[in-house]
Amino acid sequence: MVAPPDNDVLWARDLHHMHGGTTALTGVSLGVREGEIVAVTGPRGSGKTTLLHCLSGQIVPTEGEVWFNGASVHTLSSPSRERLRLDRFGWIDTEPHLVPELTAWENAALPLLLRGAGHRSAKNTAVEWLDRLDVGMCARRRPARLDQSQLQRVAIARALATTPQVLFADEPTAPLHSADGTQVLRTLTTAARSHQITVILATYDPQVAALADRALSLLDGRLSGAVPATADSSDEESRAACSLSV
């Protein structure tokens, strides 16, 4: 095995992955620096979700290596990968997947409680993040009483509450309408920048990718291009505006 470069928080070499008989990734290599926001773009079925699952240790690639902070992930046992995900990574899915019996703040506090945080401190942190995501007023409501946008904001608060070293987001704004999705994403990227959280963001939407520092493009499981994401001046303005409150 070849050790990764020192300045990459995440590094993958020659990833191949098969789902049964379907090839999902073919020879993908990449490095991500600490605090970087990287968009993984590509059409449906191009391998974005599979790449995020391999990088976050949810699945072990059929071939290839994944390294986090200079340590190999692909050789870890399943419980060690689970521990790594709980301690260092955050995950935002397309669907929020909240626990229906818990209130919004209890959902947002859950990863902190699983890490052993005290009840009061976990609640305070969860409520702070709900406030930042404009759903503080929903803190005591259960998921059944929240709309789609509020549910996804709670899921994002839950992912950010632990201040993960790397946050993986798989089409996080797909269920939201365009303006709401853009606003949620700007809040997420601004929060990540101000807390030095590395973000790997899968999206098929070029406007979403434009909020990242850099975009990688997948096609049929292969990296087909790496381009600097082009943020326009209104994005820069909104980043500055959001940084005041997040």
Ligand X SMILES: Nc1ncnc2c1ncn2[C@@H]1O[C@H](COP(=O)(O)OP(=O)(O)OP(=O)(O)O)[C@@H](O)[C@H]1O
Residue among 4 and 64 whose Cβ is closer to ligand X: 64
Q: How many residues bind ligand X (CB under 6 A)?
A: 13
* Least distance between ligand X and beta carbon 48 (Å): 4
Angle between helices 178-194 and 233-243 (to 10 degrees): 60
Residue among 28 and 188 whose Cβ is closer to ligand X: 28
Residue among 18 and 102 whose Cβ is closer to ligand X: 18
SS3 223: strand
Is residue 181 close enough to count as binding ligand X by CB under 6 A?
no
* Least distance between ligand X and beta carbon 50 (Å): 3
x/- contact string, 92-111, with ligand X (CB under 6 A)? --------------------
Which candidate, 242, 197, 95, places its Cα nearest to that of 155?
95
Is residue 24 close enough to count as binding ligand X by CB under 6 A?
yes
Which candidate, 150, 133, 132, 149, places its Cα nearest to that of 141?
150
* Least distance between ligand X and beta carbon 22 (Å): 4
Which candidate, 34, 23, 32, places its Cα nearest to that of 66?
32
Is residue 217 close enough to count as binding ligand X by CB under 6 A?
no
User: In angstroms, what CA-CA distances link 175 with 19, 46, 78, 148, 151?
Assistant: 25, 20, 31, 7, 10
Is residue 225 close enough to count as binding ligand X by CB under 6 A?
no
DSSP state of 143: G
Is residue 177 close enough to count as binding ligand X by CB under 6 A?
no
* Least distance between ligand X and beta carbon 129 (Å): 27
User: In angstroms, what CA-CA distances link 53 with 128, 140, 188?
Assistant: 29, 32, 20
Is residue 47 close enough to count as binding ligand X by CB under 6 A?
yes
Is residue 46 close enough to count as binding ligand X by CB under 6 A?
yes
* Least distance between ligand X and beta carbon 128 (Å): 32
Which candidate, 171, 230, 173, 172, places its Cα nearest to that of 46?
171
Handedness of CA 212, 214, 218, 221 (dihedral sign): negative
102's tokens: 């818990």
x/- contact string, 59-98, with ligand X (CB under 6 A)? ----------------------------------------
Is residue 143 close enough to count as binding ligand X by CB under 6 A?
no
For the chain, the straight-line distance linking the first and the last C-alpha, in angstroms and rounded, comes to 40
Exactly one of 13, 48, 85, 123 binds ligand X (CB under 6 A); that residue is: 48
* Least distance between ligand X and beta carbon 66 (Å): 15
Exactly one of 2, 6, 7, 44 binds ligand X (CB under 6 A); that residue is: 44
